[in-house]
Amino acid sequence: MRGIPDLAEVEAMDAADPLRALRDRFVLPEGVIYLDGNSLGAASINVFNEIEKSAKQEWARDLIRAWNTAGWFDMPVQLGDRLGRLIGAAPGQTVVCDTTSINIYKVLHAALAIRPERPTIVAEGDSFPTDLYMAEGVASTRPGTVLRLEGVDAPAIEDLIDDHVAVILVNHVNYKSGRLRDMAALTRKAHDAGALIVWDLCHTAGALPVDLDGSNADFAIGCTYKYLNGGPGAPAFIYAATRHHPDISQPLSGWWGHARPFAFEQGYAAGSGIRRFLCGTQPVLSMRALKGALDLWDEVDMTAVREKSVALTDLFIRLVEARCGAFGLELESPRDGAERGSQVSFAHPHGYQVMRALIERGVIGDFRAPSTVRFGFTPLYVGYRDVWNAVEVLEDILRTGAWQEARYAIKEAVT
């Protein structure tokens, strides 16, 4: 994109958008520009249909029989295979289950068990906090385990990888800046040192094409309530390359992961393959909501999603810097679209107040301490005119100083 487009050019971009029709499949409030899909995706009609069917027909009519008649018990693996298509995973390597935090705990234990002679976990100092909290928790249960952090123990994660490292836990897209890492290159670096790698795809799945198998990744985890639009608290997922399946062991040995769960045996015997990462009974209604979300994704070309994502975020950066550059905003995301995910972050000394003012005016993004305002662009339902209108509101708030009203400084529980 050259120069700053005018409104007519922006509207022409919408008219030529191959994903434009998908917007009508989502339920979005009138007058709202939703730029927070990197935190919670919008609701789709498909999801509502699945929830109604699973609650009113399967649960209400079939009751416990629905575990068989509706196939509830096999949903974690079935949905895992469908999700696997979006992250470059062949069937049998992905399972939908539990939460991201719990899955991090399980997969780090599994990786450490595969490399028992190595005591070190490597992670990013600026990782999303739950990754670090869970890594600390894993280390606390294994005497002698050490946690090394990028930005604390060395400037770059590559500098921390040596023959003491068992596993590297790394975000594909940084949650705050949106910076995108080279999956294939870092995976090679890990393997050259004999280490395993776990990719956090929370800000990747549904936002851009991923090739876990092609990159020779070992493990991955992620959530489904952001760009995949599975709903608040939707179940997370785990990927494990087939080559590691015989060696998988993890400490949450619940009955769903048992080889014969309905034999009701006294001792634990791990199931086969990716099912070894299952633990307890899974949330069926949430699983069915995710099924509805994935039904829509079956129609989507991830290359088209990525192209539109880069175009949306490029447009946003250009318009913000052209119209709001004099008001204290500083770009925190990479300027090159090839180096970022589907979000743009700016720093502002009063970022919290600015975001509160934006939300009140119908432009919904979010804030990350201490000074980051984040805007997530979900190509399935965000259009180019949305970007234009959002920047108009942002410019007005900054130019008039509307964000300075005292009520915007009152912190809410969720930012």
Q: Active-site residue 53, yes or no?
A: no
The CA distance from 373 to 353, in Å, is 10
Catalytic residue, candidates 82, 148, 179, 226: 226
Q: What residues does 27 pair with on adjacent strands?
A: 43
Q: Active-site residue 374, yes or no?
A: yes
What is the DSSP code string of 128-141? -HHHHHHHHHHHHT
- C-alpha count within 13 angstroms, C-beta hemisphere, residue 381: 27
What is the DSSP code string of 311-339? HHHHHHHHHHHHHHGGGT-EE-S-SSGGG
Kindly state the DSSP code that residue 42 receives in the 8-state scheme: P
The CA distance from 264 to 21, in Å, is 50
| Residue (of 226, 244, 275) closest to 92 by Cα position | 275
- Strands (DSSP E) found in 144-256: 146-150, 165-171, 196-200, 219-222, 237-240
Q: Active-site residue 277, yes or no?
A: no
Token pair listed for 311:
């175009």
Q: Which H or E run contains 191? A: helix 183-192
Q: What residues does 347 pair with on adjacent strands?
A: 330, 372
Q: What is the side-by-side order of every strand in the sheet holding 372-376?
A: 330-331, 343-347, 372-376, 366-368
Q: Active-site residue 226, yes or no?
A: yes
97, 223 contact by CB (below 8 A): no
Kindly state the DSSP code that residue 96 receives in the 8-state scheme: E
Token pair listed for 81:
């295979």
Catalytic residue, candidates 128, 175, 227, 346: 128
Q: 289 phi and psi, to 5 degrees?
A: -60, -40
Catalytic residue, candidates 34, 175, 219, 225: 225
Kindly state the DSSP code that residue 61 receives in the 8-state scheme: I
- Strands (DSSP E) found in 117-194: 120-124, 146-150, 165-171
Catalytic residue, candidates 200, 218, 366, 386: 200
Owner of token pair 């880069």:
310
| Residue (of 135, 137, 138) closest to 149 by Cα position | 135
Q: Active-site residue 189, yes or no?
A: no
| Residue (of 231, 214, 211) closest to 223 by Cα position | 231
Catalytic residue, candidates 131, 374, 375, 408: 374
Report the catalytic residues.
128, 200, 225-226, 374
